[in-house]
Amino acid sequence: MDADLLLSGGILLPDATSAPIRDGAVAIRDGVIVDIGAAETVAARVQARRVLDCTGQAMMPGLVDTHIHTCQQMARGLADDINVLDWLTRIVAVEGAMDEEDVSISAKAACLEMIKSGTTGFIEACGNPFYIDAMGEAIAESGLRGIMTRSTMELAEPDWSAPDPFVMDAESNLRATRELIEKWHGSADGRISAWCGWRQQWNLSDELLVAVVGIAREYGVGLHGHLATRRYGQIELLDQLGVLGPDMVFAHSIRYTARDRQLIKLNGVNIDHNPGASMHGAYGSAPMGCFPEMVEDGINVCLGCDGAANGNTLDMFQVMRLAATVHKEMRLDAVAISPQDAFKMATSNGAKAAMWPDSGTLKVGNKADVIAVNLMQPHLMPAYNVLNNLVYCASGQDVVTTIVAGRVLMENREVTTFDEARVLSDLQARGEALVQRLPEATFTARS
Per-residue pLDDT reduced to its tens digit, 327-337: 999 999 999 99
pLDDT exceeds 90 at position 160: no
**Is there a domain that residue 288 lies in?**
yes
- The percentage of the chain sitting over the pLDDT mark of 70, rounded to a whole number, equals 99
pLDDT exceeds 90 at position 304: yes
Q: How far is CA 156 from CA 111, 160, 161, 205, in A?
A: 30, 9, 8, 11
Number of structural domains in the chain: 2
Average pLDDT, the chain: 96
pLDDT exceeds 90 at position 193: yes
Do 281 and 320 lie in one domain? The reply is yes
pLDDT of amino acid 146: 98
Do 44 and 110 lie in one domain? The reply is no
Rounded to whole angstroms, the Cα distance separating 432 from 310 reads 19
Contact 110, 314 (CB under 8 A): yes
| Residue ending a domain, choose from 310, 325, 353 | 353
Do 275 and 261 lie in one domain? The reply is yes
**Is there a domain that residue 15 lies in?**
yes
Query: Sign of the CA dihedral 382, 14, 116, 319?
Result: negative
Do 217 and 260 lie in one domain? The reply is yes
pLDDT of amino acid 446: 52
Confidence of residue 66 (pLDDT cuts 50, 70, 90): very high
| Residue ending a domain, choose from 353, 379, 397 | 353
Do 149 and 116 lie in one domain? The reply is yes
CATH code, domain carrying 170: 3.20.20.140
Confidence of residue 447 (pLDDT cuts 50, 70, 90): very low
Rounded to whole angstroms, the Cα distance separating 42 from 119 reads 26
| Residue ending a domain, choose from 353, 379, 403 | 353
Do 44 and 68 lie in one domain? The reply is no
Rounded to whole angstroms, the Cα distance separating 88 from 92 reads 6
Do 78 and 159 lie in one domain? The reply is yes
For the entire predicted model, the pTM comes to 0.97
Do 324 and 180 lie in one domain? The reply is yes
**Is there a domain that residue 366 lies in?**
no
**Is there a domain that residue 437 lies in?**
no
- Summarised one tens digit per residue, pLDDT across range 385-409 is 999 999 999 999 999 999 999 999 9
**Is there a domain that residue 378 lies in?**
yes
pLDDT of amino acid 164: 74
HEC profile of 316-363: HHHHHHHHHHHHHHHHCCCCCCCHHHHHHHHCHHHHHHCCCCCCCCCC
Contact 26, 52 (CB under 8 A): no
pLDDT of amino acid 445: 56
User: What angle separates helix 100-116 from helix 132-142, to the nearest 10 degrees?
Assistant: 30
Do 218 and 294 lie in one domain? The reply is yes
**Is there a domain that residue 178 lies in?**
yes
Do 39 and 126 lie in one domain? The reply is no
**Is there a domain that residue 443 lies in?**
no
CATH code, domain carrying 405: 2.30.40.10
Do 228 and 312 lie in one domain? The reply is yes
**Is there a domain that residue 430 lies in?**
no
Q: How far is CA 10 from CA 60, 130, 298, 409, 444, in A?
A: 10, 45, 32, 19, 51
Do 264 and 129 lie in one domain? The reply is yes
Domain residues for 389?
Answer: 2-60+371-413
pLDDT exceeds 90 at position 89: no
